[in-house]
Amino acid sequence: MGLKNTLFLALLAAMVAKEVFAAQHVVGGSQGWDQSTDFKSWTSGQTFKVGDKLVFKYSSLHSVVEVGNESAYKSCDISNPIQSLSTGNDVVKLEKPGTRYFTCGTLGHCSQGMKLKITILKGNANAPSPASSPSSSSSSSSSSSPSFSPAITTDASSASQCFASFLFILALSLTVMLSLF
């Protein structure tokens, strides 16, 4: 019976650890999903890994449309979306490695640069995600310096991660204690 409990707690600890170490990326940082955000600069400072989450925060003037390929992304073709979101506080879990493409569904916003291309890496890779520039950009050097914005978590998610860390440590401690008996 002690071995079953130990295995159960070890599994629980592993599941909690997976969630603790996943990052939440608030798309666009403090500016959010908005036309004024430089998504190329924001993306260049991020590393997206399997298990992470994208958090899109925006006003009712916008929406989030995920498109299936680079061609649709570049041409702002949202006629065949993978998913469309419009709550203003949408969370997208990054479940597998690869490239994903997001645009704003409001007419004209995508062509004005309100779109995001990310590459999701496996495991603990630390290379930043390559970003694509909006089609309206004419040069790679701009007058404003690119800003670095690490994975940003809200106060609620920080508290949640602290609680998850506590649960992880508690489960690990119980596992060790039970294995001693």
Q: How does pLDDT run across 106-151, given as a tens digit for each residue? A: 999 999 999 999 999 987 544 444 443 333 333 333 333 333 333 4
Structure tokens belonging to residue 168: 């992880």
State which H helix or E strand residue 6 sits in: helix 2-20
**42 phi/psi in degrees, rounded to 5:** -60, -45
Name residue 25's beta-bridge partners: 54
Read off the pLDDT of each residue in 71-90 and give the average, rounded to a whole number.
96
- Can you give the pTM of this predicted structure? 0.62
State which H helix or E strand residue 64 sits in: strand 64-67
Q: Which of 103, 105, 107, 128 is nearest to 116 (CA)?
A: 103
pLDDT, position 14? 53
At which residue do the structure tokens 């645009």 appear? 103
